[in-house]
Amino acid sequence: MNQPSTIRSSFAVLASGRGSNFQALLDRMADTSLPVRCTRLITDNPGAYAIKRAEFAAVPVSIVPYGEFPSRAEYEQVLATVMAQTGADLFVLAGYMRILGAGIVRQFPGRIINIHPALLPSFPGLHAQRQALAHGVKVAGCTVHFVTEEMDAGPIILQRCVPVLDGDDEETLTERILVEEHICLPEAVRLFCEGRLRLEGRKVIQT
């Protein structure tokens, strides 16, 4: 993985659905606390609400409709080309609901980050909040991490935690975590773009 060392100024977002994390990034850009450019939204889902958010913010959109490709390999080939064409320094997976193939991860080493709604390494994969509730944890949260070939296992950039309350169900816990996601993700993008993240083994050091 490359050591980010220089100041980088642009990112592209990959999102599959609602796009509230994408919106959090757009909001921080609008209030100037995140002084970087979003060069493109890339989505695999033509019905994603994130597309509307992009249009409203005048961010160009690329739809790479997963369902219309004969194979995953062909989908990923086009996705990789679209990603490269954005010219972005950083790719932010913000509710991107597919696993990125190893080829793409290797093509952009140290330049892809993901937000996950659990305190990794606990509860990777789908339905993280449901997993946390089922396990009976008292503290939950979110993690922004570098993407590596192993799902939800890359070096951790930032985490924020929330209490799990006795009366919580999946919806209430998800809502509480989401508030923290919207803080955590823009902060991680800012640190990356300011060149303030250094990797030591699998540890991310803030400089």
Least Å from the CB of residue 129 to ligand GRF = 8
- Closest CB to ligand GRF among residues 84, 179: 179
Least Å from the CB of residue 70 to ligand GRF = 27
- Closest CB to ligand GRF among residues 77, 93: 93
Least Å from the CB of residue 19 to ligand GRF = 5
Q: Is 116 a catalytic residue?
A: yes
- Closest CB to ligand GRF among residues 89, 181: 181
Least Å from the CB of residue 20 to ligand GRF = 3
- Closest CB to ligand GRF among residues 39, 129: 129
By the criterion CB under 6 A, which residues form the site for ligand GRF?
A: 15, 17-21, 94-95, 115-117, 178, 181
Q: Which of 116, 127, 135, 182 is catalytic?
A: 116
Torsion angle defined by CA atoms of residues 51, 159, 117 and 128, in that order, rounded to the nearest 10 degrees: 160
Kindly list the catalytic residues: 116
